[in-house]
Structure formats: C-alpha cells, structure tokens
C-alpha cells in the first residue's frame, strides 16, 4: 500500500546517507530488501541528516542495523542524528545502545 520513501546512498569511503521517511509504512519493505543495500565492510558511517521523519519503527530498524553490523565486527557510526530520533531513543530507554556510535 505504501510506497518506499527511503533512500540509501553510498557516498564512497565507507560513508552512506539515509534520507526520506523512516517510519512504519516504509520500514518493512525497505528492511526486506536489505541485502540490496546493507554494507559489507568493516566500517560504516551513516549520515541521517536527510531523514525528514523517523518513528518508532525507524528507530527499531536502526537498532537492528546496528546489531547486525556490530555482530559482524563492523565499526558503525551514526552522523547527524535527528532530534526526533534522539527523543525516541531517550523515551524508549534504548539511547545507551546507540550512544557510543552517535556523533
């Protein structure tokens, strides 16, 4: 029903950009296609500055992404984390999980 409004862009040098709406209507289809976009490197810097909206589903997707990359030994960094996401992380009491990777 919903169209995918999430864009994942490889910028080079292990840097990526995520933009659009990271929400319950877009996350499921985007996550199912993760093999198409999930980085296969030992270092990933993900810029979230292009996100226009993030809800709890988007937050959980980023937590899963962090878990998968970290368990594969990847050094994962989040850049330009939107205030909306920081608030969700704090209210959900999961901020410590991503705190070490947020710059």
| pLDDT tens per residue across all 103 residues of the chain | 344 589 999 999 999 999 999 999 999 999 998 888 888 889 999 999 999 999 999 999 999 999 999 999 999 999 999 999 999 999 999 999 999 999 8
Write down the pLDDT at residue 40: 83
Global pTM value: 0.90
Within 8 A by CB and 6+ apart from 39, the residues are 10, 14, 16, 69, 74
Write down the pLDDT at residue 1: 37
Q: Are 17 and 54 in contact (CB under 8 A)?
A: no
Write down the pLDDT at residue 3: 46
Q: Closest Cα to residue 86, out of 69, 78, 77?
A: 78
Domains of the chain: 6-99 (3.30.750.24)
Q: Which residues pair with 22 in a beta bridge?
A: 54
């Amino acid at each position: 029903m919903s169209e995918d409004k999430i864009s994942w862009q490889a910028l080079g040098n292990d840097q990526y950009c995520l933009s659009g709406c990271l929400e319950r209507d877009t996350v499921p289809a985007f996550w199912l296609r993760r093999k198409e976009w999930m980085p296969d490197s030992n270092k990933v810097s993900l810029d979230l500055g292009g996100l226009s909206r993030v809800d709890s589903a988007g937050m959980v997707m980023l937590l899963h992404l962090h878990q998968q990359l970290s368990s594969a030994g990847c050094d994962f960094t989040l850049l330009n984390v939107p205030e909306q996401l920081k608030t969700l992380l704090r209210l959900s009491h999961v901020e410590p999980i991503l705190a070490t990777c947020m710059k």
